[in-house]
């Protein structure tokens, strides 16, 4: 009997140990919650051998972070499902998203249909806003018989007798000069050369999917299916990613291009000591897009390239507009597959008036499918694809919801079919939304707008914090485990557009011996915690690093009220912490000193966004203009004097350091950033508190409450 009990106890110990290992491999590795160094000897090694888990509050820059479902957004949030698009033409053809093939599905016209395929050309300087008609071929489609068009941009027109019954523009692929325009039969996916498929290759494809005016918070609340999928796949979302300038061009040039020859000799800082905007994108020297050193120009010749920009208006488009910054478009095609002629024809047909739907289709889904098709067809061939979708989200951030279903299913298909095995996928926004009332007149949209709607609390976080996620395939993680760990750690670091460019340069250098970027470190290298806006080349009027608020508030926030909010927050972790042991001091320094090299100057009791951000300065303005805007704002509410204005209408971020005990006996210090709306005295905790475990413990390297408590729960279970 005693032997039997011993055997049962041994089995139980083995099972518990197995659960510990399973927890690491599934929860930690896949969900990106636990960071580098967590080895197989979980129960036998001291936590001192593990580097600390990175946390947003480590940074010298205290970032104005807002939640996707911020309560100030409620009145303006909408969650539209897939658009019900009205169809007014005959549903003549079925198009297969993965390959672009067509088949006729209308039995009514199976015996008397004649169609014409016609190439769309143009989209280049000096007539970049127009299109021309090129090669044509007449054909008679057969019911349920597949065919495809050997062209990048083309129109299909079909006649029943003399009557036009179908006419529509499409994006496709010109695969072979020697093929006819209309190719009967299924599309054949090209096979790459054997040397490209060799095991151990360091060559990776790059796919960039850009969504105009899309912030981190916006993507999180409207793209829930896609977000869950990316999280399961191990994609890294950057929580403190700050745009460097105002509009699309100034934010995408630093990502996609090397330093411009026109700016090489310019100083990084202007005469005021701020980042020099002309160093990023000169305003009085129209650039020739053909001479810019785009990242894809450095790729080996076997790479297939695509440039797919939803221009939204024939007079616009990335690197065509505004005219002060660029010549009127590309003079030669920037990539093998270039779709400006398609968009010129489309928006000409729409009289340059954007619509969600066209003939039964959500237009953004059509644009997404051109990206999807490129990734599907060239998944085994080295490629670089850049797709930028403007029209759906430029004017209304809520519209992003309509794309969630399609993008999720396209990503799921690419993953299931192995099409992402060799591709690094980057999904990003150029900036947050700048024109919709949700962002102009809400707390989470942007700070400022002092001159109108002053009764609405405003914030800049969404507009100035675009979405950025990077998904690297398992092969990359296996070949470069330290680089991947650094990438995950950097999700909590303060970074900007220039880091993304350096990351792209690193990826391209793997397949060819190229020089790394000299401007900023790659996101595969561990970023410093003491980076400033100047270091990251972020202009001050867009900088989300907060400043001392002591001059703008009449009294220090009540620490007891803050403590009570923290107690409520910690009740979700009752099985991990002895919440009754919580002890807090007064509102104290935000300088949570972990590393010794943290700058001392950022210590302050309460923080708020800088003056330029507060008055929503989209361009750099003088200090006197800042004062004028604030004085005008206080005049809007005459019942408050100027001193009362800041207390009533500003949003501040107090920091509080507390201590408590965990259920396994650890002494834990908790640094919490609160957000306090002075008008309502509403207090929230926008981001998980930062933990510092002072006791030697197997869980002490975790910084996030959820991760630390998962570790403690396992130890207590054993």
Q: Do residues 29 and 11 touch, judged by C-beta distance below 8 A?
A: no
Average pLDDT, integer, range 28-51:
37
Mean predicted confidence (pLDDT) in 244-266 = 93
- Angstrom distances, CA of residue 278 to CA of 258, 269, 496, 622: 15, 10, 17, 17
pLDDT score recorded for residue 554: 65
Rg of the chain taking only CA atoms, in angstroms: 28
Q: For the residues 101-126, what does the mean pLDDT come to?
A: 88
DSSP for 592-642, please give it.
---STTS-GGG--SEEE--HHHHTT-SS---HHHHHHHHHHHHHHSTTS-H
At which residue do the structure tokens 């005990």 appear?
661
Q: Residue 394: its pLDDT value, please?
A: 83
pLDDT > 90: percent of the chain: 57
Mean pLDDT of 189-202: 70
246 or 647, higher pLDDT? 246
Distances (CA, A) of 251 to 20, 443, 564: 44, 23, 41
**DSSP label at residue 107:** G
Reported as type and span, the H/E element at residue 481 is: helix 481-489
Predicted pLDDT at 517: 55
Separation of CA 286 from chain center: 28
pLDDT digits (tens, 9 = 90+) for 538-575: 999 899 999 888 777 766 788 899 999 999 999 999 99
Q: How far is CA 446 from CA 459, 464, 570, 612, in A?
A: 3, 8, 29, 12
pLDDT in tens, 299-358: 999 999 999 999 999 999 999 888 888 999 999 999 999 999 999 999 999 998 888 888
Check residue 339 and give its pLDDT: 98
CA gap 377, 380 in Å, rounded: 8
pLDDT recorded at residue 458: 39
Sheet with 337-338, strands from edge to edge, namely 236-237, 468-471, 423-429, 205-211, 383-389, 304-309, 337-338
Domains of the chain: 33-53+547-717 (no CATH), 93-184 (no CATH), 203-542 (3.40.720.10)
User: What tens digit of pLDDT does each residue of 37-47 get?
Assistant: 333 222 233 33
Over residues 405-456, the pLDDT tens digits come to: 999 999 999 999 999 999 999 999 998 876 665 555 554 444 333 333 333 3
Tell me the pLDDT of the chain averaged across its residues.
83
């Amino acid at each position: 009997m005693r032997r039997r009990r011993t055997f049962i106890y041994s089995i139980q110990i083995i099972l518990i140990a197995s659960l510990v290992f399973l927890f690491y491999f599934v929860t930690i590795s896949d969900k990106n919650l636990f960071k580098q160094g967590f080895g197989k000897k979980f129960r036998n090694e001291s936590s001192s051998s593990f580097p600390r888990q990175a946390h947003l509050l480590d940074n010298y820059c205290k970032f104005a972070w807002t939640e996707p479902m911020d309560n100030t957004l409620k009145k303006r949030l909408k969650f539209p499902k897939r658009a019900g698009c009205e169809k007014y033409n005959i549903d003549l053809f079925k198009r297969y998203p993965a390959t672009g093939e067509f088949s006729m599905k209308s039995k009514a016209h199976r015996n008397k249909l004649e169609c014409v395929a016609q190439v769309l050309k143009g989209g280049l300087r000096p007539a970049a806003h127009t299109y021309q008609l090129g090669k044509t071929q007449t054909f008679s489609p057969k019911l349920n018989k597949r065919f495809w068009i050997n062209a990048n941009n083309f129109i299909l027109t079909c006649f029943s007798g003399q009557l036009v019954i179908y006419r529509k523009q499409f994006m496709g692929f010109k695969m072979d000069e020697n093929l006819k325009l209309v190719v009967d039969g299924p599309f054949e996916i090209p096979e790459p050369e054997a040397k490209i498929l060799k095991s151990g290759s360091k060559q990776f494809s790059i796919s960039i999917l850009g969504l105009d005016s899309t912030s981190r918070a916006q993507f999180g609340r409207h793209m829930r299916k896609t977000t869950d999928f990316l999280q399961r796949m191990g994609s890294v979302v950057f929580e403190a990613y700050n745009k460097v300038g105002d509009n699309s061009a100034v934010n995408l040039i630093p990502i996609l291009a090397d330093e411009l020859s026109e700016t090489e000799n310019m100083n990084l800082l202007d005469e005021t000591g701020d980042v020099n905007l002309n160093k990023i994108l000169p305003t009085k020297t129209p650039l020739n897009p053909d001479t810019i050193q785009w990242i894809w120009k450095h790729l080996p010749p076997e790479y297939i390239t695509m440039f797919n920009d939803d221009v939204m208006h024939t007079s616009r488009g990335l690197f065509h507009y505004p005219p002060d910054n660029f010549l009127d478009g590309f003079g030669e095609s920037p990539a093998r597959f270039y779709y400006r002629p398609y968009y010129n024809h489309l928006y000409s047909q729409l009289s340059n008036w954007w619509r969600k739907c066209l003939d039964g289709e959500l237009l953004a889904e059509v644009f997404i499918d051109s990206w999807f098709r490129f990734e599907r067809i060239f998944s085994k061939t080295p490629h670089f694809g850049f797709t930028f979708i403007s029209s759906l989200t430029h004017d209304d951030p809520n519209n992003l919801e309509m794309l969630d279903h399609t993008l999720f299913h396209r990503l799921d298909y690419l993953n299931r079919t192995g099409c992402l095995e060799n591709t690094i996928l980057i999904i990003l926004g150029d900036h947050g939304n700048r024109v919709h009332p949700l962002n102009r007149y809400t707390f989470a949209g942007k700070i400022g707008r002092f001159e109108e709607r002053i009764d609405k609390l405003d914030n800049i976080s969404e507009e100035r914090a675009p979405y950025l996620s990077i998904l690297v395939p398992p092969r990359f993680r296996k070949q470069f485990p330290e680089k991947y760990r650094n990438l995950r750690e950097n999700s909590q670091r303060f970074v900007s557009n220039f880091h993304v460019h350096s990351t792209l340069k690193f990826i391209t250098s793997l397949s060819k011996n190229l020089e790394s970027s000299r401007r900023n470190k790659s996101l595969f290298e561990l970023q410093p915690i003491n980076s400033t806006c100047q270091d990251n080349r972020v202009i001050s009027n867009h900088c989300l690093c907060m400043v001392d608020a002591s001059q703008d508030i009449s009294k220090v926030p009540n620490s007891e009220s803050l403590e009570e909010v923290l107690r409520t927050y910690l009740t979700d972790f009752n099985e991990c912490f002895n919440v009754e042991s919580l002890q807090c001091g007064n509102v104290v320094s935000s300088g949570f000193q972990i590393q010794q090299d943290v700058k001392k100057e950022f210590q302050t009791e309460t923080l708020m966004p800088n003056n330029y951000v507060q008055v929503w300065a989209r361009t750099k303005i003088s200090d006197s203009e800042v004062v004028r805007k604030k004085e005008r704002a206080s005049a809007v509410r005459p019942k408050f004097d100027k001193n009362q204005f800041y207390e009533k209408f500003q949003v501040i971020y107090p920091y509080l350091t507390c201590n408590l005990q965990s259920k396994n006996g650890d002494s834990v210090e908790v640094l919490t950033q609160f957000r306090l709306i002075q008008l309502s005295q509403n207090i929230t905790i926008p981001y998980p508190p930062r933990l510092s475990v002072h006791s030697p413990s197997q869980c002490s390297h975790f910084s996030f409450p959820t991760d630390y408590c998962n570790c403690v729960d396992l130890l207590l279970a054993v």
